[in-house]
């Protein structure tokens, strides 16, 4: 079961606040995005809409949304067929689906963003 991304944002902020209030420490990995990742706050606004639709189970704007992503490019970690699914991040002004996608894995919060149609992927960091 996926936990909605809005809840995970609150959870991450609460964890940092809790550590600070009780005199704990906050590691660099907690306070900053992991190397190579993209902070959720740095995503285009349309990606938030896509993440919300994923959490709600749709309806999605394109029939291809939710389809199995094959990882033919081999950029994402190797997994069995059916592990990854792709969703369109709408590109304003584009007459097609555009190049932006979110690809999800079966594990909790294993979400990747690509703005260049599968050439590069960046894990989405929901804690920043």
The yes-or-no answer on residue 117 being catalytic is yes
Sequence-distant (6+) residues with CB within 8 A of 32 are 128
Q: Could you tell me whether strands 122-125 and 111-114 are parallel, antiparallel, or unpaired per DSSP bridges?
A: antiparallel
Give Cα separations from 118 to 21, 58, 81, 115 (angstroms).
42, 22, 17, 8
Q: Which of the residues 5, 85, 86, 110 is marked catalytic?
A: 86
Q: Are the C-beta atoms of residues 72 and 62 closer than 8 Å to each other?
A: no
Specify whether 85 is catalytic: no
Q: Which of 5, 85, 109, 117 is catalytic?
A: 117
Active-site residue numbers?
86, 117
């Amino acid at each position: 079961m996926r936990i909605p991304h809005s809840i995970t944002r609150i959870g991450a902020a609460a964890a940092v606040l809790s550590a600070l209030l009780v005199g704990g420490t906050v590691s660099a990995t907690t306070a900053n995005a992991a190397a190579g990742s993209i902070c959720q706050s740095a995503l285009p606004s349309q990606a938030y809409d896509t993440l919300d639709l994923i959490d709600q189970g749709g309806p999605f704007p394109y029939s291809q949304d939710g389809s199995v992503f094959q990882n033919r490019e081999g950029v994402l970690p190797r997994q069995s067929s059916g592990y990854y699914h792709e969703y369109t991040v709408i590109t304003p002004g584009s007459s097609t689906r555009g190049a932006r996608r979110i690809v999800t894995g079966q594990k909790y919060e294993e979400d990747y963003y690509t703005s260049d149609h599968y050439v590069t992927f960046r894990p989405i960091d929901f804690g920043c």
